[in-house]
Chains A and B, each alone.
Chain A
């Protein structure tokens, strides 16, 4: 199953990913991304890819 990887060092808390896919991402009190669910099914692929592309610092990646 494809897996979401987040680089917590790069993340700037812009939260575009949370806007695109709130089921998969949130922000903690320090303003850093929290991946709520690492694995996703094909039905959510387009949404997760959109979230990944919306990150201004390319902190998110999908591992197949």
Chain B
């Protein structure tokens, strides 16, 4: 009897799961369902190349129409899942249709956290293609913007807004926003980068209000000051899309809770992939949910293999990896970099702006690396994270790369 895999959520996690199922020999039917009408597209360029017009829409596709056909993937676009019946193996769609599955993959991702400040217009979020198109138009027509949130997306959008020639102010309650991920010592360098590029930072300060007044959009800060701009972009995190699963009986807690094999807990044929999945990471010994591109792809590969070998599933224990482009910095991060232990920063004097930061845990073991404009050092150090090392080992490697020995 032929079987059927139904994948709900057709972005990078869902599409890569479909491709990996085929590439590993899955012979049954593969259906990918997505609420959006667009051919599956990729999100990282939405704050970078697509937003600054250096990449066209054609470069955003995650899969071509030709490959969809050749791989026999059934794409159901503009179809929103609204319910799940685990007992009978059925996904319900808006409008009343139901689709049966033998294996279900949940890859509904996250959405941008709504702005808590209610203003009639002028406050933008960035998560989807439609969001990015609206933002492009707004950037073309405007002179100034306030960005609320100094994380990756906020910083990337600030850099892009500068390319449009806008006056940019950025606000975040933390003094070193990127320090959340990279520790304060390295986070401080990222603040300097904003300044070098003419962005005014208001860090360590909260936003109290946003209102529309005759002179523009007014953002009131917790230190009593006010910022005035044509519009604002709010990038304050994301929320898992799990509402459609609310009455399904699946365990939901900041995402779909999964076991170490990425199976929804207590279910033999339901899997979570990508930003929505909170799985038990066996090496870290805790539940984690990761909102990064490479995680979605690696998890998709693991889930596809586990579906095909469900008698002998592999646990999913990735070394996290993320990149970001801000101004002229190409940033790459691997492993665990929120500094609980020693951090060693090594600069390359022959290339301005190039450095690597190496992170240890409290026992002195090497756990993570961040590099700026240094892909070669990154790949060497990233591969070293696969086995346990003392921090001194990657430190010596990078020093040798600097001295050219």
Contact = CB atoms under 8 A, between A and B. Distances in A.
Contact of A16 (B19, B321, B374, B376): B321
Interface of A: 12-16, 18-19, 22, 26-29, 31, 45-46, 49-50, 53-54, 56-58
A56 B294 contact: yes
Contacts of A22: 383
Contact of B383 (A12, A19, A31, A45): A19
A46 B23 contact: yes
Contacts of A53: 16, 19-20, 23, 297, 301
Nearest to A45: B23
A50 B294 CA distance: 12
Given A28-B376, A29-B376, A56 B293 contact: yes
Contacts of A49: 23
Contacts of A28: 376
Given A46-B23, A50-B20, A56-B323, A18 B298 contact: no
Given A53-B19, A56-B293, A56-B294, A46 B24 contact: yes
Contacts of B297: 16, 53-54
B309 to A, nearest CB: 13
A14 B24 contact: no
A27 B376 contact: yes
B294 to A, nearest CB: 6
Given A54-B294, A54-B298, A56-B294, A19 B24 contact: no
B382 A31 contact: no
Interface of B: 16, 19-20, 23-24, 42, 44, 59, 293-294, 297-298, 301, 321, 323, 330, 332, 373-376, 378-379, 382-383
B82 to A, nearest CB: 30
Contact of B379 (A27, A45, A57): A27
Contacts of A18: 379, 383
Indicate the member of A29, A53, A58 with the most B CB atoms within 10 Å: A53
A14 B23 contact: no
A29 B378 CA distance: 11
Nearest to B300: A53
B382 A19 contact: yes
20 contacts: A12-B330, A13-B378, A16-B294, A19-B383, A26-B379, A27-B376, A27-B379, A29-B376, A31-B373, A31-B374, A31-B375, A31-B376, A49-B23, A50-B301, A53-B16, A53-B19, A53-B297, A56-B293, A56-B323, A57-B59
A50 B23 contact: yes
A54 B300 CA distance: 10
A18 B298 CA distance: 14
